[in-house]
Amino acid sequence: MAVQHETELYKPLKLYFEKLGYLVKGEVRNCDLVGIHPGQTEPLIVEIKKTFNLALLLQGLERQKLTSEVYLAVERNRAKKGAHNQRWNELAALCRRLGLGLMTVTFYKTKAPFVEVLCEPSGSEVNKRAYKLRTGRLITEFNERSGDYNVGGSTGRKLYTAYREKALKIAAAVQEGGQISPSKAKDRSGVSAAAAIMQRNYYGWFRRVARGSYTLTSEGIAALAEYEALLKGFEQAEAAPGLESWEE
C-alpha cells in the first residue's frame, strides 16, 4: 500500500517513540520529528521520506550536527520488491557506516501500520562542542511549544512555531483588553517577551496607537479567527516535560 504523502508516516512514527517514553513534536527547526526522553541528554531526530533517496541521506548527515541520535524513516512498500530503494540489508549497512539509524513503516488495509528499526544510530563523528549551540536552540524551540501542532514531513504549509504561539497569546490578550500596554499584555498572556514581540511586530498584528498603548490590526483580528482552535489547544495543553538545558 503506497502512501501519497510523507506526512502519512508521521503518526505511526510518533506513536512508536511515545511508547518508548519520548515526548514527540513535528517540524521543529526544519526537523521532521523531534523526540526528547527525560532520561537522555540528547534529542532524537527522524527525517521522513516516502522512499530512500540521496536527499534523505544528506538530510540525515546534516542532522548529525545537532545530535548523534538520527534516524531515517521511509515506507516499506511490499509491492516494490527488488526496487533499488527497497534493498533493505544494503541500505541498513550503508546507514550503519554513516552512523545513522534506519526505520521502515509498513501500511496495511485492515490493520495498524508496522514500524521496524533496521539499524540503530551509532553516533556522529562531529565534536559535541560544534553542535552544542544548534542543539540548544532545537531543544529551546521544542520546549517552548505547548503541544504538537505540526505534522512531520509537511511541505508548503504554514508551521506553528514557538514564536507564533507567543504572538497569538499576546494578540488574544490585546483583543481582550481592547487597547493595552505591553506590560499588561505580558501579565495577561504570560509571555515575558511581550513588549519585544509587539514592538517588532513581525506578523503585522499590532498597532501602536499611543506611547505604551497597542491595539490589534485587521491582520491580527483575522489571525485570531484563523487560529481559534489552536488557541484553545494552547489553553488545554499541559506543561511539556523536556530538557531545560543542553549538557556537555
210: domain CATH number is 1.10.10.10
Q: Are residues 22 and 80 in the same domain?
A: yes
In a domain, 88, yes or no: yes
Q: Are residues 13 and 117 in the same domain?
A: yes
In a domain, 95, yes or no: yes
In a domain, 182, yes or no: yes
How far is C-alpha 211 from the geometric centre of its chain's CA atoms? 37
CATH code for the domain of 61: 3.40.1350
Instruction: Identify residue 185 by its one-letter amino acid code.
Output: A
The domain of 178 spans: 162-236
pLDDT at 151 over 90: no
Determine the Cα–Cα distance for residues 43 and 207; give it in Å rounded to an integer: 39
Residue 239 pLDDT class (50, 70, 90 cuts): very low
Q: Which of 144, 175, 206 is the last residue of a domain?
A: 144
The pLDDT score that the predictor gives to residue 134 is 78
In a domain, 170, yes or no: yes
3-class DSSP state of 183: helix
Q: Are residues 115 and 166 in the same domain?
A: no
- Beta-carbon contacts of residue 201 (< 8 Å; ≥ 6 apart): none
The pLDDT score that the predictor gives to residue 136 is 83
Q: Are residues 166 and 88 in the same domain?
A: no
Provide the 8-state DSSP code for 239.
P
Instruction: Identify residue 6 by its one-letter amino acid code.
Output: E
Provide the 8-state DSSP code for 82.
T
- Grid cell for residue 51: 522512499
The pLDDT score that the predictor gives to residue 242 is 45
Tally of structural domains, the chain: 2
Q: Region 119-143: what's the mean pLDDT? A: 75
Q: What's the pTM value of the predicted model, to 2 decimals? A: 0.69
Residue 131 pLDDT class (50, 70, 90 cuts): low
Q: Are residues 103 and 134 in the same domain?
A: yes
The pLDDT score that the predictor gives to residue 233 is 67
In a domain, 106, yes or no: yes
Q: Region 165-187: what's the mean pLDDT? A: 87
